[in-house]
Chains A and B, each alone.
Chain A
């Protein structure tokens, strides 16, 4: 689906391009009244030769107004509004990607060569043109240059070979990959840390590189501007986004104003964005919870989807009228919060033996009273579910896929402690020494040690309840709450038996493929980091999955899926992999999930979609909801 849409898109885009180019000359563009009287070129010259036309969610908007919101000290919320201008942006319904800075792109048949056509005439916020030279500067003088600490970006290296970049003309680039790379456009559309970051204003940035400016001795200034985390501190740095940062007081406030050179318009030719600016208060991690709750109830927030907790929902709902806002419920997009990952690379082989047996895992699963977890930790608002990917995953969007999903998500979630005990007896996990706790088949002591990260209240609450349930069927359970560093040390050294992970979204191959197959050496890799490392290193490092086991077959299925060239074969491969989870699972165990996430929207703010995603950053929300077409109604 991804690729096919892309191809179809490039054709349609071509047609639209022709239409709109002619339309561009014929159409009158209008600008915000605040820009009248300023010393700027005419608006038709500023919106590029082929501006992107955004369909409004509800209605055509009017200019004016300021959005007030709150972000944490790491500015993630602001970054997701102000810095997400990749080659292509995700569709609002996440069904593929749509042209953004790139107006079209074409693949060759083998998916090894990609031609990207940048939108002609796009200008940076200081009026200088965006051209293929900007990207060539990025590739040659930043990525390829060993003196600059920037490595090959994700998706550009295939089969250990980095892509080769060619400039075809002022607005076109050709990427040649070391192997088929059909998901490149989707990969590079991820939030602000892929192609959005690669697009840098070369003229401005050259003055910070020793290569071009002998007065500069090191790359500190350059890297500070290149890094998306600190880019906001430099209001003089040109941007492509709808608003540019005009002032940033660290730890306190961020102010952004409209970018007069923005290259998107609405269907009536009004230059976007409608909204004049964004004023964001910055809060410490400890204060942000109070800040968003109190400010929301007081009616001081115009658009806020992050930093709320599920426990805030009832207060938010109560105060809607008084505060003049509406609470929309977006999706957290996760598939279970938390999900239990047995580590198949744990140092005790006896435990690993048990993990490899489906009955043991099923016993763990049906011993859980998920309704209780839901009531206590999620106010009864979440859903008990098995580990299964998000129902919004593209590969599950067929009737067959949906049916499969229903079966998968409901497998082994019934609360049946007697059955759990029976299964444990079956695999030989019984109390051999009479101390009241079950032991391993060889008689040695069995303790279920579950690690989870501190600071995650829902997980912590559920873990306490889960411990009671597992203790009740005779499995001595120990909970270990720790911070990232200590947990990741344990995980790396094979000291971790099981981890409860509060997931963010991801599906299929795109983000976190490693949640359903042990293929990436990261903390959230199912199966265990060492096993994933073994796959990633081609078998040279780490611990191999046991031969013929479901882990090995999942790794194989992943290899097949990742090399599939067209959507259908990819989806088929993914479904085949998921089937392994269903038949031999649960391999990773789910608890409850699909918590509704509150989004506070001022009653005066329009064009905000009712459906969206809050969880994973990869999908680019809220930028994907096109905040440039939000407007304030009077």
Chain B
């Protein structure tokens, strides 16, 4: 509440009058959200992720197809401030790397040469890229001197820098699933509201349709879809199409949950009051019933987005997800999924950290939204 002093025109009273500011529901919600520190943290993290993804070409030290085949399967070789003698350098650097295949032990042995140092540089020239399809450039935010290699999170089996791949992967993972999720939510909620409110034969029919889609043989459907797709289609389009199909099939679960809530709310007082005041059905549904179900929907939304990210890993497992040369977190996790990786190349599991971070952030944001929208929450 803010205080405003209003000057009165006459000598009636010179005492300041307290006035309270009138805020709309939306503004109230926004303030509430801002006070929720976790939600704000989540929003910040997500913003950082999305912006980094958009600027992936710039931020990544290497190009998305760049391979360093002599340094495949190398662990993270980070930046050092202190050199081998213990001296501090203001500009961090990496050491030189050498790789030899020992044919006797079948190992590829990496030696770090502390004699050679390559310093960190800002705005380096590197592999060309296109930002968001519009801006072409070849300047990267950071890199190391010529001859040095900067593998912040190590390299994969083909010698591609993992940090770069994670950035590019974010572009796909953070966006491709969204459309499907939104479609699924909108359709599912609407159907849930309608069937719950009207009931009757309409409800029965829709419920049976939902049953069919839920019982639908998913795996054979995926395989059949995969067989029908022409090979020259880029895999992002393939995944996009598949994700839309999958969302269309999964609206059923949400619809049922919304329906359950509507069924119990249908007979409640505020709905009856709305009906008696001749509110149109649409108004009842969207202005009264929907907000009550909103929090559940929000939770489902914030849980579905990560589900889409992960669903892609499962599809990759069956050979249907994103394929090279595109990258996504699901693809990266799929490549990391073997005993051998866990035992010998554990850094390849780092995309999982980013996935978890994204999910946590989405959830905190979702919590915050729900709290903010719910006028009764503490």
Contact = CB atoms under 8 A, between A and B. Distances in A.
The answer to whether A and B touch directly, with their CB atoms under 8 angstroms apart, is yes
Interface of A: 289-290, 293-294, 309, 311-315, 317-318, 372, 375-376, 379-381, 447, 449, 451, 454-455, 460-461, 464-465, 467-468, 478-483, 485-486, 490, 596
B231 A482 contact: yes
Contacts of A376: 67, 69, 72, 157-159
Contacts of B106: 313-314, 317, 379, 381, 596
B227 interface: yes
Interface of B: 65, 67, 69-70, 72, 101, 103, 105-108, 157-159, 223, 226-227, 231-232, 319, 323-325, 338-340, 343-344
Contacts of A375: 69-70, 72, 101
Nearest to A496: B231
A481 B323 contact: yes
Given A317-B105, A379-B101, A379-B106, A451 B339 contact: no
Nearest to A457: B157
Contacts of A461: 157-158
A413 to B, nearest CB: 17
B73 to A, nearest CB: 9
Contacts of B67: 376, 465, 468
A311 B342 CA distance: 13
A293 B340 contact: yes
A475 to B, nearest CB: 15
Given A376-B157, A481-B323, A315 B343 contact: yes
B356 to A, nearest CB: 24
A447 B230 CA distance: 15
Contacts of B223: 483
Contacts of A455: 319
Contacts of A381: 101, 103, 106
B74 to A, nearest CB: 12
Contact of A449 (B69, B232, B319, B343): B232
A386 B108 CA distance: 25
Contacts of A309: 340
B226 A486 contact: yes
Contacts, number: 79
Contact of B340 (A311, A454, A480, A486): A311
Contacts of A490: 231
23 contacts: A289-B339, A290-B338, A293-B339, A309-B340, A311-B340, A314-B105, A317-B105, A375-B69, A375-B70, A379-B101, A380-B103, A451-B231, A461-B157, A464-B158, A465-B158, A467-B325, A468-B65, A468-B67, A480-B231, A481-B319, A481-B323, A482-B226, A482-B231
B340 A315 contact: yes
A294 B338 CA distance: 11
Given A379-B106, A461-B158, A372 B323 contact: no
A449 B231 contact: yes
A99 to B, nearest CB: 39
Contacts of B324: 460, 464, 479
B313 to A, nearest CB: 14
Contacts of B343: 315
A486 B319 CA distance: 13
A441 B157 CA distance: 38
Contacts of B72: 375-376
Given A376-B67, A481-B319, A483-B226, 9 more contacts: A289-B338, A290-B338, A375-B69, A375-B70, A449-B231, A461-B157, A482-B231, A483-B227, A485-B227
Nearest to B101: A380
Nearest to A461: B158
Contacts of A447: 232
B319 A464 contact: no
A439 B56 CA distance: 33
A596 B107 CA distance: 13
A304 to B, nearest CB: 16
Contacts of B231: 449, 451, 478, 480, 482, 490
Nearest to A294: B339
A317 B107 contact: yes
A447 B65 CA distance: 20
A485 B325 CA distance: 23
A490 B232 CA distance: 13
Nearest to B72: A376
B254 to A, nearest CB: 31
A482 to B, nearest CB: 7
- Which residue, of B106, B157, B323, B343, has the highest number of chain A Cβ atoms within 10 A? B106
B108 A454 contact: no
Contact of A314 (B157, B158, B344): B344
Contacts of A379: 101, 106, 108
Which 7 A-B pairs have CB atoms at the shortest separation, nearest pair first? A480-B231, A380-B101, A313-B106, A454-B319, A290-B339, A372-B69, A376-B69
B339 A478 contact: no
A269 B232 CA distance: 65
A315 B157 contact: no
A560 to B, nearest CB: 39
A461 B343 CA distance: 21
A630 B21 CA distance: 92
Contact of B108 (A380, A465, A482, A596): A380
Contacts of A311: 157, 340
B253 to A, nearest CB: 27
A381 B104 CA distance: 10
A492 to B, nearest CB: 14
B307 to A, nearest CB: 22
Contacts of A454: 319
A22 B98 CA distance: 68
A78 to B, nearest CB: 23
A478 B70 contact: no
A486 B339 contact: no
B282 to A, nearest CB: 47
Nearest to A464: B324
A547 B109 CA distance: 54
A462 to B, nearest CB: 10
A72 B324 CA distance: 28
Nearest to B235: A481
A92 to B, nearest CB: 25
Nearest to A289: B338
A315 B319 contact: no
A626 B343 CA distance: 35
Nearest to B103: A381
Contacts of B344: 314-315
Contacts of B340: 293, 309, 311-312, 315
A174 B293 CA distance: 84
B69 A480 contact: no
Contacts of A449: 231-232
A367 to B, nearest CB: 16
A464 B331 CA distance: 15
A158 to B, nearest CB: 39
A286 to B, nearest CB: 8
A489 to B, nearest CB: 8
Contacts of A478: 231-232
A380 B323 CA distance: 25
Nearest to A453: B319
